[in-house]
A = this chain, B = another copy of it.
């Protein structure tokens, strides 16, 4: 994709943990350039460097530090908006940006389960993006909302996709051990997590269960039919900065050997050759060691965009069990949204005015770069 000049993007919720990751990940992005930052009223009007409590271990870029934080209003905002804001705030704001013609690429939870909003993980269900054409904003202004999933669902969903494709998944057990960064900043109190585990995260189990099934579902007519599987999630918080670890057990429709499962993971490279800058070469990496994956050691694989699976072994109750790890604020949040935006760009859905009528001849399934751009 020969982008002559970078596309200007805005970040809604720029001071939060995920907002900071957007800035970090976009610093040298070949297609997108941060042009607008918005946050709560408290931050609006300040230089970003003063408004933010920067918590990442790379330096806040000077150019960004000097940008003035805008109010959360579509007037003056770019036409591509990355959003990561509270569900309540998102419910109000994201439709306003979509109505104003913006492509809202959202990490917020507000609209993930809305029937006409695509909940997309590019390697898994890129074709669901077509749902944007069901949105009234799209018809009226060209704007739309696309979402990525909850940070905890992401790892298991990626790991399950090739298995479901090959063998069918009909029961899923998932017990998470989640990093504190998932709760934002200040988020989890140190009094609650040092020498401790918190066996509860509000609404997380519900989100994880329903989003997993929608992501693995099929687009049928005007909506998505969720995967016909039963899923049970148990979510826990542990003393880890970044990286959600999930113990998963599954029951399959067709029998599979260990080697077949390993092969399904190894061969799963649905975005290969499409030139999406943020797509990891190997989205699912296998860790052969007994005691892996581990968040501190494996979360940065594929620049934080690969998930790592390990410990594949038979399960006495279902069929197989394994552990999957993903970087919750990269693969599970900011990186996921950026990859969605890259996919939309490669499909020609980010340029203003394009495809408004949905009559584009372009395929919704992502295709190889040269073809897409030809």
Q: List residues of A whose CB falls within 8 A of some B CB.
A: 17, 54-59, 171-173, 175, 177, 180-181, 185-200, 202, 209, 230-232, 234, 236, 238-241, 245, 247, 249, 290-301, 310-311, 315-318, 321, 323
| Across-interface contacts of A231 in B (CB, < 8 A) | 316-317
Q: Is the beta-carbon distance between A180 and B200 smaller than 8 angstroms?
A: no
Q: Which residue of B lies closest to A287 (CB)?
A: B199
Q: Is the beta-carbon distance between B239 and A311 smaller than 8 angstroms?
A: no
Q: Is the beta-carbon distance between A193 and B196 smaller than 8 angstroms?
A: no
Q: Is the beta-carbon distance between A57 and B300 smaller than 8 angstroms?
A: yes
Report the Cα distance A316→B209, complex, angstroms: 9
Report the Cα distance A76→B174, complex, angstroms: 52
Given contacts A300-B58, A315-B232, A317-B172, contact A194 B196 (CB under 8 A): no
Q: Is the beta-carbon distance between B238 and A239 smaller than 8 angstroms?
A: yes
| Across-interface contacts of A202 in B (CB, < 8 A) | 290
A249 to chain B, nearest CB (A): 6
Closest 10 pairs (CB-CB, A-B): A186-B189, A175-B175, A200-B291, A196-B296, A234-B247, A232-B317, A239-B239, A232-B316, A199-B323, A180-B190
Q: Is the beta-carbon distance between B55 and A191 smaller than 8 angstroms?
A: yes
| Across-interface contacts of A192 in B (CB, < 8 A) | 55, 186, 190, 294
Set B177, B230, B317: member contacting A171, Cβ < 8 A:
B317
| Across-interface contacts of A57 in B (CB, < 8 A) | 296-300
Residue from A57, A175, A180, A241 having most chain B Cβ neighbours under 10 A: A175
